[in-house]
Structures are given as C-alpha cells and as structure tokens.
Structure 1
C-alpha cells in the first residue's frame, strides 16, 4: 500500500473551513464570508496552522516544468497551435498567455505564503518548534517562486506581504541582485527552522535539505558560486540523501519519497490526480497527446557507453543503429524505436510504419518520432488522465552537479568535484558511464553542462541553464530534427519538423517580457530590454 501523503491533508482543508463557517451563525447580522476563511474563525489551533501551510503546496509546479524544456533545444512543443509554440518561433510579446501564466502562478503562491506568515502567530500554542517549522516551510515555498521569477524575468517586484489592490498598482521592479539577496536570506533562515526528516505521515513536507538545495540552485543561477557550493555541500553532509539505485525506476511509483528526492509535488490517484500520462504519452496510448517531445539535439547529447561523444573519432556511432551502445539514461528518458509501450504495443514512429505513432499519421503524433518516457508508466495506462505519480522538483543528482559546477567555476576542481560528477555518471546499478579523471576547467565545464542536460532532461532546468551559460543563442535557433530512419529505398532519412524554425534573439530573449496585463494595471512596471 502506498504511503499516506501530504495532499490528503490539503484536501481536508475544505472540510475544516466548511465546518468552521456553519458553526458561527449565532448572530446573522455578523455574517462570515462564505467564499473564504475568516480570521474570526481560523488561526486558532495548531491544526489550523498545519492545514493552512498544507494549502501552500498547491502552488508548486507540476507538469509545467516540462513546457520550459520545450522552449529550448532539447524538446519541442508538438502542436503548432499551442500558445507556447509561438515562443519557440520568437513570435510573442508581453501579451502571451504563457508569459502571463507563469508570472501569475508565481505571485499567487507568493501572496498565499505571505498571508500565512502574517497570520500564523495568531495561533495559540506553546509548541513554538512546530510554528517555526511551518514558517520554514512557507519561507521556502515563497523563495521557490522567486527563484523562477528571477530566472524568467530578471527584475521583478519584491513583495513580502499580502498587499492591497491599490498598493499593487504602484509596485516597482526590484533589481534582480536584490531578489537573489532576498532568496538567499529567506532560505538560510528557513533551513534553520526545518527538520532534516519527517515521520511517514508527513512525507512530502519541506525539509532542511530542500531549503538548502534550493539555496544551492538559487546561488548557482545567480552566479554566486561559493555560496552555491557551500549550500550543496551542506546537503551532501546531511548524510540522508543519495542517488536512487535505478535511473529507470526513479520516475515510478516504486521510487516515490526515495532518498534522492528533496522536493516534489505530490499527487494521488482519484483523490488528487495529474494527467501527465495523457499529456506526454505517445498517441497510440489511448490517444495520449504527445504535447511536448524530445529532439534529435537532446538524443545526440547522450554519450556512447565508453564515454565518447557520438561525434568523437572512434566512438563507434552508427546512424543506422543510433541507439545502440549509448548511455542508458537515453533509453530510460526517451521512447525510442522498438520500445515496448505501456499498452504492450511496439513503438514505431517512422513515417512509413503504418502505426498510430507514425510521424504524420495525425497532428497529435510526435513530429520528431521521439516521446518522453519519464513518468509514463504502465500503472497509469488504464486511465491516462488519472495518474498519482509525484513530480520531482529537486533531487540529489542536481545537488551533486550544482556542487561540481560551482567548484569548477571557482577554479577548485578537486577530487570532491570528480566524485560528485562520477556519482551521477555511474553511481546507479543501471547507469555506468566511465568515470571522469580530467581536471581541465574548460573540459570539466563542458562535461558538467552535458551531464546536467541529459541527467535532468524534462525536469525544467535546461531553459535556466542555457540562459545563465549564455549558450541559448547558439543552441536554440534553427530547424527541429527528429529520428533517422530508412525510407522505402533503404536510404537513411533524418526527420525535419515541418514549418518550425526556432528563433532566439540575443537582444531580447534572455529574459521574458513583463506581462502586458500587469503593465496595464500598473504603469510603474518597466519593461525588459528589446520588448
């Protein structure tokens, strides 16, 4: 039986609020609002505080992290009428609903956490450690949202209280350096308030390791490498995390709440479900949507089993059998020709295969001939829109790679750096890439960037990575390519997605525009360069 999850507590918040509202009708002239929790009936008990913080977790990201990768070189938005397909083409501005949606989602979470922090001390209790823990959770969740905002938009308004509408109309953007300062302070404070572990009934809550891990991520994004390395080192020294033994099973029900997971968005079938199978699965799997699909650029990034790039002399790479002798993370991350799908059929995406997954058979089938495999589980085939799989938002492999990258950029590539990289490369039973022994900064930089790309594919990190590496202008522009297959004459043909030419303008696309809706409401919000 699967463990009791945090989201079950979240759902009970509705029942609690309903009971509180009906219990307070003794004076009909002093009515309690029926569309929200009133401070007159809430913030009284420890249970109130717990349920309130549980509700904050609903603003964490889930399947939208995959959409970020689809705006890079490693994935593609499969349907050309999807709103974010226009972002790939460079045909967007501040009116884009995608650009506005990410801003809105983040500030919704920020407002909720700020409201919690303003009110939680109203609870009458002598259990100060519990209240401090809940504050630590809220602070971490608020910092999580600001990390995204800084990465997407640069300067953004720094809001730490539940402001009024009028106050919101005059907010100004805070310099991004100050945003990073705030995140650093917030997560440092939060980590001191949080426990390292929880009992089974509280699995899924923010831990000290999660706060420190996000601190490492934030400082890496900000280019503050010593702080990033120090925070990652603290996570490593906690001694409670490690890479899960199987990369193949890491994104399955069997690995939920494993030692590798620092932070996830938790779901449960029927009760608090997610539709990730239907969103990403191949079309033959009960008409799943293939909404975002891998590209040849990603597939070609995986090394051969002897640790060579496929373009290296002596790699043995054969375009006629492109998936043979490759880093096993490729076959665990991407559905490849010949794979057995969750429904039991064989994946045959070639245009001439005559299957439902054949390129061109329908506008929904993958246009590259690749499909994302992470989270697409046989357990969910019977009801593809009713998955209960947790979506991982931060895991230990990222911590190791953050530590390694930060130390490399500091010019401190010692044995601990090689150990961190090699744990990711061969610390699992089913991933056995050769250990790295070189110490050249430039070569290690290339290696750790490649490791982040393949290890964390479809986990929402690559867009932020290629922006901070300033490589987006090199890797994004151009056509999107897919599988290589044999046509009717036996000749090898590489698929090129029709009518797609990705665009990245170095003068504007390293930051998204501030949403026009926000600027219409608040003329004090300036716009990013080029927009």
Structure 2
C-alpha cells in the first residue's frame, strides 16, 4: 500500500506539473499579468498612445476643403470632394478605427496603471494626464467628423461593442472639457532633456481651447486660451518658415507635435507634399494649394490684392506679398531643395513641374512648402521633421475669435491678432482699431486660413462656421500666368466638387460598424 500510495503521489505531482505548464504566461508577448509592475511599465503604457497622434492624415483634412485640392482623382479625398463616397468608403472606417484604437489603449492604461507599485505619485499623475489628453484629442476629432459617437471610457468586449449606442455630441464636448481640465492639473508646464515632446499642461489647455471653440462654447475657449497665454512658457518663434523645418523643432511656439527621427522613426511628408520634380517616381504633389488660398495673402502693406490702392501687379503676382506666402507655398521662380528653379508654366519646355506635364505634377501651379527640408532631398522617404499638431499662434487666434464671438472686444483681441501678424519674419501691418464685430470676425477667420494653412484646421473651421456648403462647390482654380501677352487662369476642368448641406456636414457612421451593431443609427442622408 505504501508503494501504491507513493506511486499515486508521484503521478498526482506530475499531473499537477503538467497543468501548471499549460497555465504559464506566454513568452512571445508581454502579458498584463507580468507587465503593470514598474515605473518603466507605466511609462511604456503611456508611450503607446503617442503613435496614435496624427501623421499624414493631418494634411488630408485640408485636402477636402476650398483652400487645398487633392491633386489626383483616384485619391480617397478626391472621391469625397466629388461627392462620390458612401458609408462603405474605407476612409471613413479608417478614421473611426484609428480613433477608437487609441481610445481602447487609453482605457486599458487607466484600468491597469494603479497596479504599478511606486512612491513616485508625481510620475503616475503626469502619465495619467498625458493619456487623458491624447484620448480627448481623438474624441475631439470624432465628434467633429461624425457628430454623436459612442463615449467609451472602459475596456469593452465584443458583445458589449455590439450594443453600443451613440452619445449626444453635447455629452462628448462635456467629457472633453472635463478630461482636459483634469489633465491640466496633472501635467507639468514644461519638460527638459529626453522628455521634450511629451504632453504638457499647455497641450491640455490648448486642446481644451480648440475643442471649446469648435463646440461654440466661447467663454470656455477664451478662458482656456488665456490660461495657456498666462503660463509664460510659449511665444511666437521668430522665423515662420523655419518653424516647419528641423531648425524649429521643440521651439518655444510648439505646444504639441508628433515626434519623428530620421533613420529611426521617419515620415514621408517630403514625398507627400513636395513638387513632383523633387521626387520623380516617388509621387509627390498629393495635396496642392488653390487660387482661393493664394489670393488671400495680402500685399505687405496690409491691403488685399483686390484693393486698387494695394499695388498688386497681376504680371508679378508674388511680389511684395505677405511673407507667409513664399514661406508656405512654392511659387514659380523660387529655388527648390535640389537647386533647380521651380517652374509650373504649362507648355514651357524648361518647366520643372509643368501643369499637365504628368499625372503627378501640380494641377494648380503651386506646391506646399511647409515640411520640405533641403536636407531631406537625398532621402525623401526618410524625413525626421516633427509634425506640429498645436502651436501658440493658434491659441492666440482662438482667444481672439472666442472674444469676438462673445462681443467682448478689447485691446487683448487686437493684440492677439497683431502678435501673429507681427512675427519677426512676417512683420505685417497691425489691423485697424475700433472695428465692428462682423469685420473682426472676417479678419480672424482670414488670419486662421493663412497662418494655419496645411495644418489640418480648415475642414473643421468651414464646418463650424457653417460655410462649407457655400465654399466647397466652387470651381477649383489655379495660378494666373501670362501667355502671348494675355493673362490666363488655370481651371481644373472635368471635376466638380459637391457638398450637400443636408448631408456632408457630418461623415457617415462606417457601414461595417453598423453591420456589427445596428444600434449605431446612421447620419442623415447617408
């Protein structure tokens, strides 16, 4: 019996060992069971949110507006511009998926962060503020693109996902405001060393100012913008042009950006935006400026080019203009990073990028200059320039616009606008004083269009101003040039932009999401 009992004990032990082998933590991935333990784990958990910030998608928002044209007809944006997209269109789904992927990561972070055993409460608070801010960043975009959306603040399983409903946009805005206020209290005003680029107090407050402006909650927007201004951390960088080059990285104007590093974590913005001649065979010219944007840039005396006293010469249209024109846009006659002279004149045998020359050259006669660095010319797909998501100039214009809409017009409003216009490398004249609310409203809107061109804000601006149905269906025009002694303006023929005011102020809930969950009611006319 002793031998039998002993043998049974051995068998029982071996069996229990086999069971424990089946229960071991996988060694080919990081498991939650062993992860959320150290401060490094907490930092890595927060870091997982940063890659969800916008990259190329930022330019695509402007590419569906009146100021920027999606250059090739087969691009997703062009199909949306022409009114030919439906709820099954991949662009709508990818936007939805990207945001909710980020939100799920954030929710998972909050459900596990307090498991980390540490006395460094300051660090944990900071990381919570970072993740909270990035989650709010994505909800801000979701509500602007789709309107009512599911507000998810905890991890959910598949079954729970199938019964979600859309929460009212007002509730999403409430959440964004509360979350960013909380985050601002958790975050430091600035960072140093390797922590530069992390979400700061100014980023939380700046995004709150943006969100409340978009929501039409002007008192909240003005107050949040003023808090950023009062931090004493930010100011306008002297060179507008260098702001979007390597020289401007981590400067005093940047509040939030997507950080990159050549050879380590690079981007292809050079290929996306640059003239075709810089990167033949690697595309280029995906998004190009329109005549409407170029005509907005005033003469350097502060007068509109349509003013008979401005001194504008249609035969030399780029001379004596607001310096931001040539600092933002390649126009004919400028030197390119490869040393050639940019020339888009149709039928000119010496043109580098003639309109109509190839499928990939600009169709309007201009190309975007922001983020095109000379040092990236040899490796155009390996740019390390950081992408600006929020900067101090926007905060100043947000403050001014919010105060104008509240009709609380005082010297601080004029000062905010004039600061932007008076940047050292821009030096545009100050605007006149004692202007009406309507006149100031048009000034600040125009200033946003010029100052923030190609930075992803225009789509949301024309939606919230309720002017998209007026400005979008217009014919797309390009540059005006001299041909046989006459002035000719390029017109993009055979292409019509469509905007249905009863439908297109919101994108559709993606069809694939509604097939999985019929509780997600569709937006009107989609």
| Contact 2:270–2:381, Cα closer than 8 Å, also in 1 | yes
Task: Mark the runs of 5 or more structure 1 residues left unpaired by the alignment.
Answer: 1-24
Matches within 5 A, 1:102-181: 102-181=95-174
Match among 427, 440, 451 for residue 455 of structure 1:
451
Query: Counterpart of 1:411?
Result: 407
Query: Counterpart of 1:439?
Result: 435
| Contact 2:273–2:287, Cα closer than 8 Å, also in 1 | yes
Task: State which structure, 1 or 2, has the greater radius of gyration over its C-alpha atoms.
Answer: 2
Are residues 124 and 26 of structure 1, via their aligned partners in 2, closer, same or farther at CA, if it must alter by over 3 Å? farther
| Contact 1:426–1:435, Cα closer than 8 Å, also in 2 | no
* Secondary structure of the corresponding residue to residue 50 of structure 1: helix
| Contact 1:329–1:431, Cα closer than 8 Å, also in 2 | no
Shift of 1:490: 2.5
Query: Counterpart of 2:264?
Result: 271
| Contact 2:323–2:425, Cα closer than 8 Å, also in 1 | no
Query: Counterpart of 1:320?
Result: 315
Matches within 5 A, 1:282-301: 282-287=275-280, 288-301=283-296
In 1, Cα distance between equivalents of 2:383 and 2:291: 28
Matches within 5 A, 1:18-97: 28-33=21-26, 36-97=29-90
Q: Deviations over 1:318-366 (max 9, x none)?
A: 2221111211111111100001001110000111222341011100001
| Contact 1:413–1:439, Cα closer than 8 Å, also in 2 | no
Q: Deviations over 1:184-226 (max 9, x none)?
A: 0000000000000112210010000000000000000000000
Query: Counterpart of 2:298?
Result: 303
| Contact 2:469–2:501, Cα closer than 8 Å, also in 1 | yes
**Would you say how many aligned residue pairs link Structure 1 and Structure 2?**
506
Structure 1 stretches of 4+ moved >4 Å: none
Shift of 1:407: 0.2
Shift of 1:27: 5.9
Aligned CA-pair RMSD = 1.4
Asked if 1:473 corresponds to 2:460, the answer is: no
In 2, Cα distance between equivalents of 1:36 and 1:297: 52
In 2, Cα distance between equivalents of 1:39 and 1:111: 15
TM-score (normalised: structure 2)? 0.94
TM-score (normalised: structure 1)? 0.93
| Contact 2:213–2:402, Cα closer than 8 Å, also in 1 | yes
Query: Counterpart of 1:22?
Result: none
In 2, Cα distance between equivalents of 1:331 and 1:244: 17
Query: Counterpart of 1:247?
Result: 240
Are residues 431 and 65 of structure 1, via their aligned partners in 2, closer, same or farther at CA, if it must alter by over 3 Å? farther
In 2, Cα distance between equivalents of 1:416 and 1:205: 30
Query: Counterpart of 2:372?
Result: 376
Shift of 1:436: 3.8
In 1, Cα distance between equivalents of 2:49 and 2:456: 21
In 1, Cα distance between equivalents of 2:384 and 2:375: 10
Query: Counterpart of 1:389?
Result: 385
Match among 495, 500, 507 for residue 500 of structure 1:
495
